[in-house]
Chains A and B, each alone.
Chain A
Amino acid sequence: MQTGDAALEVKLAGAWRLRGGLPSASLLERELDGAPRIKSVAFDTKELESWDSSVLAFLVDISALCRQRGIQMDTAGLPSGLHRLLNLAEAVPEKKGARKESVATPFLQRVGNTAIGAGSSLAEMLAFLGDMTLTFFRLWRMKVRFRAVDLFLFIQQAGVEALPIVSLISFLVGVILAFVGAVQLKQFGAQIYVADLVGIAMVREMGAMMTGIIMAGRTGAAFAAQLGTMKVTQEIDAFTTMGFSPLEFLVLPRVLALVLMMPLLCLYSDIVGVLGGAAIGVGMLDLSWTTYLRETTNAISLTDVFGGVFKASVYGVLIALSGCLRGLQCGNSSSAVGDAATSAVVTGIVAIVLACGVFAVVFYVLGI
């Protein structure tokens, strides 16, 4: 950098690369502060070997500095490419109001906004439930339209294709319950009651609950992703504009498929869970298969089985509705589809656990 009488010449030399970091114009600023008589800034680039955007960023800073101080900037010494880029960068003045204001929202305002958001999302959910109820009434009067082939496809996806994972989880839950019971009951020599424990727990609660959670993660998320993608690609709009209700055409077959398949999956899960318990009973507690299974059948009643299966179909409705609701609420981007799937699983599991609590109270009151 050389200072003449009223002119400052900046010498740019060597290789300028973004990788090396952005140079700061503060050195120049100090120079200008020290010499208030300077009226123009010029550039000497004879020794500049190569350059990229780093030089441009530096020049834009200098140009802003010069404008601030009313100094002239002489760009004649710059390579023509740089000269043009600099003109381009400054051709369009900053649009007023385009810059996002990063004002920190006060805490109370954020609380308020969240509350308003929660209120409107609750209203949306209620509207969806209301519409779905009307759709179910139309289903009752046989006035709904959807493709039967869709229903069978969803039944296959939510039924047969879920069997392997339901088998694995249920068997292991049976095993875990048996272990928990075995350790305690062995102290009293009452190992045989492991069969009661596993049987009652699986049939009354765990069968329905585990199937519900598996299906929320598997099928609920899939429903949300399918509907979310259809929203993004305007397929749902296409249904609406052709006079098809998305609720009838898309949501209803999904709900029906889960309502039909969840009880069956739950029953299957009960059986596999009992087998898991029996594996421990026979393998570790020296019980015979017959003894274990007879004890199980004595312990559980048909009411227990129906109670569990009924819960499972309710969970099915909850999973399908939360999956479809989140899918239909999806925004217009690929990341929104991911959010919809996540939110569907969370909503589904929360709904299952809440319903499970309600059932516990109701069953207790009814003496089931």
Chain B
Amino acid sequence: MGEANGTDHRPHITVSHLTMAYGSFVLMRDLNFTIHHGDVFIIMGGSGCGKSTLLRHLIGLKEPAQGNIYYGDENFTRADPAKRQEMVRRMGVLFQSGALWSSMTLAENVGLSLGEYTDLSPAEIRDVASLKLALVGLKGFEDYYPSQISGGMQKRAGLARAMALDPEILFFDEPSAGLDPISSRLLDDLILELRDSLGATVVVVTHELASIFTIGNNSVFLDTETRTMSAGGDPKELLAHSPNPTVRRFLTRGGEEKI
């Protein structure tokens, strides 16, 4: 498939003048960016700069200190709880550690939201759950508990759970953290594959350069020093043309020369 497939230019998520704070401590101020339908959008930046916090804002686990987040034309930040529930249901999230529910089998993990939000019978739910697990290469592991499988498998199972309701947007928090280079490459391929086949928008928090250049076609760079975003756009473009030295240093692992 081609380069910019699936991407059209309708905005999917718009972040407007977002300020993130813990109490009186301001983490990032005045963030403005737009994620389009079909984008693989990278949130990048150094450790502790607020990447994961930004993700928590986007999925509604944390409230903005200022500013608004829009999904399409709908204001997510100001939505009432019922509306918000409905918007959240269109998102799938893969947490950093997988965050599978440890008291449930993989099939139950994937099937829980299906049982809640669809009218499928238990047998059908199990079929769909098996299918989702098969998509991430975990066919046959339906009755395993999360503690019985490896970290990489837990992450893939987490992805299967995130995809259970065929979400329009998939969020990934550090998908390659704790994975060996091959597993993390496979996960990257899987992310692209899913974006292309499901037509979903993908938002990834990461600082893995390899991933950033392989999968990203749009990005935002959070700068710890200035406490705001210092660049945005296609990571490859940023590497080639960004005027900002911090961004270039980040994208070249500290060296100024191009890779």
Chain A positions within 8 Å of B, measured between CB atoms, are: 145, 150, 153, 230, 233-235, 237-244
Contact = CB atoms under 8 A, between A and B. Distances in A.
A237 B113 contact: no
A237 B100 contact: no
Contact of B61 (A153, A230, A241): A241
B88 A233 contact: no
Contacts, number: 49
A234 B95 contact: yes
B119 interface: no
A18 to B, nearest CB: 30
A366 to B, nearest CB: 41
Contacts of B60: 240-241
A239 B60 CA distance: 12
Contacts of B5: none
B117 A234 contact: no
B92 to A, nearest CB: 8
B116 A238 contact: no
A240 B61 contact: yes
Contacts of A230: 101-102
A126 to B, nearest CB: 19
Interface string B74-87: 00000000000100
B95 A243 contact: no
B126 to A, nearest CB: 15
16 contacts: A150-B103, A153-B103, A233-B97, A233-B99, A234-B95, A234-B97, A235-B100, A237-B56, A238-B93, A241-B61, A242-B89, A242-B112, A242-B113, A243-B89, A243-B116, A243-B117
B96 A238 contact: no
A241 B92 CA distance: 8
Interface string B196-231: 000000000000000000000000000000000000
A238 B101 contact: yes
Contacts of B96: 234
| Chain A interface mostly | helix
B88 A241 contact: yes
A243 B85 contact: yes
Nearest to B85: A243
B43 interface: no
Contacts of A145: 116
Contact-residue bracket for chain B: 20 to 34
Residue among A145, A150, A234, A237 with the highest chain B CB neighbour number at 10 A = A234
Contacts of B103: 150, 153
Given A237-B99, A243-B85, A243-B89, 15 more contacts: A145-B116, A230-B101, A233-B102, A234-B97, A234-B99, A239-B101, A240-B60, A242-B88, A242-B89, A242-B112, A242-B113, A243-B88, A243-B116, A243-B117, A244-B116
A235 B56 CA distance: 14
B257 to A, nearest CB: 21
Contacts of A238: 93, 95, 99-101, 161
A238 B59 CA distance: 10
A235 B112 CA distance: 13
A282 B179 CA distance: 68
A238 to B, nearest CB: 4
Interface of B: 56, 59-61, 85, 88-89, 91, 93, 95-97, 99-103, 112-113, 116-117, 161
Nearest to B87: A243
Given A241-B59, A242-B113, A235 B85 contact: no
Nearest to A150: B103
The 4 closest A-B pairs by CB, nearest first: A234-B99, A234-B95, A238-B99, A241-B93
A235 B99 contact: yes
A235 B101 contact: yes
Contacts of B95: 234, 237-238
A242 B162 CA distance: 9
A230 B101 CA distance: 8
Contacts of A242: 88-89, 112-113
Nearest to B173: A234
Contacts of B99: 233-235, 237-238
A145 B161 CA distance: 19
B250 to A, nearest CB: 18
Residue among A145, A233, A242 with the highest chain B CB neighbour number at 10 A = A242
A77 to B, nearest CB: 32
Nearest to B95: A234
Given A241-B91, A242-B112, A243-B88, A235 B102 contact: yes
A230 B146 CA distance: 13
B252 to A, nearest CB: 20
Contacts of B112: 242, 244
A240 B113 CA distance: 12
A234 B102 CA distance: 11
A278 B68 CA distance: 71
Contacts of A235: 99-102
Contacts of A150: 103
A242 to B, nearest CB: 5
Residue among A153, A238, A240 with the highest chain B CB neighbour number at 10 A = A238
A327 B159 CA distance: 26
A150 B88 CA distance: 25
Nearest to B60: A241
A342 to B, nearest CB: 22
A286 B95 CA distance: 68
A210 B123 CA distance: 46
B58 to A, nearest CB: 10
B222 to A, nearest CB: 19
Nearest to B86: A243
A176 to B, nearest CB: 39
Nearest to B94: A238
